Amino acid sequence: MKKMQWPVLKIIMVLFLATGAFFTPAHSQVFNYRLQKADSLFAAKQFTQSLAHYEEIFTQGQYTPAMFLKMAFVEEGLNEIGKTLYYLNLYHLATGDDAVLAKMEQLSKKHKLQGYTFDETSQVALIYQKYHDKVSMAIGALMLLLVSLAVFLKRRGHKPIAAVATVLFLAVVFGFHLSMKETDTQVIVAENHNYLMAGPSGAADVVDVIDGGHRFEIEKRYDIWVQVRWNGRTAFIRDHQVLPVRL
Is residue 27 predicted with pLDDT exceeding 50?
no
- Percent of the chain exceeding pLDDT 70 equals 80
CA–CA dist 85, 191 (Å, integer): 12
Mean pLDDT for the chain overall: 84
Q: Which of 20-34, 67-81, 84-98, 103-117 reaches the highest mean pLDDT?
A: 67-81
pLDDT tens, position by position, 120-172: 665 666 666 667 778 888 888 898 898 988 888 888 888 888 888 998 998 88
Is residue 49 predicted with pLDDT exceeding 50?
yes
pLDDT tens, position by position, 79-89: 999 999 999 99
Is residue 1 predicted with pLDDT exceeding 80?
no
Give me the mean pLDDT over the 112-120 stretch.
Answer: 80
pTM confidence score? 0.70
pLDDT of residue 30: 44
Of 19-23, 37-41, 127-131, 214-218, where does mean pLDDT reach its minimum? 19-23
pLDDT band at 203 (very low <50, low <70, confident <90, very high): very high
